[in-house]
Amino acid sequence: MKRSQKSRTAFTLVELLMVMGIIACLASLLMPALSAMRQKADGIACVSNLRQIGIAAQLYAGENSQTTPMIEPWPSDPVYPNGDGAQTILAALHPYGVTPATLRCRADILGPNYNAKEGSSYEWCPMANGQNVQSVKLVWSGNVAGITLSRLLMAFDYSNVHNGASNVLFGDGHVAPGN
């Protein structure tokens, strides 16, 4: 008797398991790289948001005698008493293009989520309140020192959510990314 030889058209179970094991190993090698790329992308988006806040603050100053807005740094536990004119960052800068999406940092939302508590992932620096952008002054315990606009802190992440660092917006609109 002669057996007819059939051509093999299907994978065996062992072959399928081997391919799945190889794919799983490759995926596990790629996961840290994908996570690092995602964190980097979140940091870049956060820098962009802070730049937009800086542009809006400069537009505000241009329409308000070259003076920065009075923004409450902790809306959930106000620093300024009622009647001081301090607003939330959204209320002050919304007419200049700042939206709730601009005030949202993905790394903050996944982590401590100050956005839910304070209405923003970014804290406004009280030293920037009411500053004349043409003549910046800092006052600490009677010590008055003039600084340049490029050194005036305006806003930053509420917490160090970008690899243990915080992105910082300065008065001239540049952002120092946290690395």
Determine the pLDDT at residue 87: 95
Percentage of the residues of the chain whose pLDDT score is greater than 70: 90
The whole-number average pLDDT for the span 129-138 is: 84
Determine the pLDDT at residue 51: 96
Q: What is the pLDDT of residues 160-172, one digit of tens each?
A: 888 888 999 999 9
Determine the pLDDT at residue 62: 95
Q: Tell me the pLDDT band of 3, cut-offs 50, 70 and 90.
A: low
How confident is the prediction for the chain on average, in pLDDT?
A: 88
CA-closest candidate to residue 99, choices 56, 47, 42, 145: 56
Determine the pLDDT at residue 54: 96
The whole-number average pLDDT for the span 10-33 is: 89
Spans of all domains in the chain: 39-176
Determine the pLDDT at residue 145: 59
